[in-house]
Amino acid sequence: MSLDSGPSGPSAPAGGDLVRRHALATRLWHWTNALTILVMLMSGLMILNAHPRLYWGHYGSDHDAAWLVLAEMDDIAFPGWMTIPTDYSLADARLWHFAFAWVLVLAFSAYLIWGLARGHIARRLHITRVEWSPRHILHDIVEHAKLKLPTGAAALNYNVLQKFAYGGVLFVLIPVLIASGLAMSPALDAAWPWLVDLFGGRQSARSVHFIAAMALVLFFLVHMAMVLLAGPVNEVRSMLTGWYRLPRDKGEAP
């Protein structure tokens, strides 16, 4: 049965039932992102190794006040296991970063257009009035803190914290990463001065780019933790095949 069309058949789905969880487009985009974002993060850290200081405003170099100093100028901020390539090469890291930037932007645009046109994103990520209430959000936070995840039919839809996380990545983090990345290009700054103004200067755009990347890393870590807690085999299978087994209640017979 498909989530998009709602539960069908004689009875509502219950714990233990296999349901269609993820659309093909979502699954393709997910795995494309998994690879692309990892490559862009690791090559991005290598690029940051070239000048591991961050500033606010239009300019900023060794003699200016940095808000974040990741390493002294002659030191490497990020070790080889974190970077692409392993050994220092700003030129090669830029090749990787800029080539995969196309993949990120094209896949993101395609998914966004498909998801909005089909109403898929609205159906899955729309936060209802009830869900916006502080009480509801607080309740979900407490349930998550107790590691009590939804079961049965309640697990058919994303909970409000998931909607915040996925919506935040889709509508905030990835767009901010793309825009701040483009704003660092001197050629595009000539054509689109408003883009760099959006961030308050090129060095601010560079800082925002880093902050958004770190936020994405944080999302990834929480995402991994939640997959492990929710049952990694069922979760990974659902993202590969689309089929998801609704979790049973603790008391429910298998």
Partner 1 sequence: MIVTRRHALRLGAAGAGGLLLSGCDALNDSATFKQGLAGVGRLHEVTQRAIIGDSLAREFTEADLSPVFKANGSLRVADPAYRALLAGGFAAWALRVDGLVHRPLDLPLSALQAMPQRTQITRHDCVEGWSAIGKWQGPELGAILAAAGLLPSARFVVFHCADKLEGKPFYESIDLIEAFHVQTILAWRMNDAPLTEPHGAPIRLRVERQLGYKQAKFIMRIELRESLAGLYGGQGGFWEDNRGYQWWAGI
Q: Nearest 10 degrees: CA dihedral of 235, 237, 240, 246? A: -60
Contact call for residue 60 and partner 1 (CB under 8 A): yes
Contact call for residue 48 and partner 1 (CB under 8 A): yes
CA distance 88 to 71: 15
| Token pair for 60 | 């900023």
Residue of 74, 77, 79, 46 whose CA lies nearest to 62:
74
User: Interacting stretch for partner 1, rule CB under 8 A, among 40-48, 139-147, 156-164, 171-179?
Assistant: 40-48
Residue of 110, 132, 131, 106 whose CA lies nearest to 121:
110
Contact call for residue 22 and partner 1 (CB under 8 A): no
**Residues numbered 189-208 forming contacts with partner 1, rule: CB under 8 A:** 189-193, 196, 202-203, 206
**Residues numbered 69-128 forming contacts with partner 1, rule: CB under 8 A:** 81, 84-86, 89-92, 94-96, 98-99, 102
Task: Read off the DSSP letter of residue 173.
Answer: I
Grouping H, G, I as helix, E, B as strand and the rest as coil, residue 186 is helix
Q: How many CB atoms are located within 10 Å of the residue 244 CB?
A: 21
Contact call for residue 38 and partner 1 (CB under 8 A): yes
Closer Cβ to partner 1, 94 or 144, answer by number: 94
Q: 54 has which bridge partners?
A: 68
Count of residues in contact with partner 1, rule CB under 8 A: 49
Closer Cβ to partner 1, 84 or 169, answer by number: 84
User: 223: part of which helix (H) or strand (E)?
Assistant: helix 202-230
Smallest distance from partner 1 to CB 61, Å? 4
| Under 8 Å between Cβ of 39 and 96 | yes
Q: Out of 64, 138, 142, 222, which residue is the one contacting partner 1 (CB under 8 A)?
A: 64
- What is the binding site for partner 1 (CB under 8 A)? 35, 38-39, 42, 47-48, 50-51, 53, 55, 58-64, 81, 84-86, 89-92, 94-96, 98-99, 102, 184-193, 196, 202-203, 206, 233, 236-237, 240
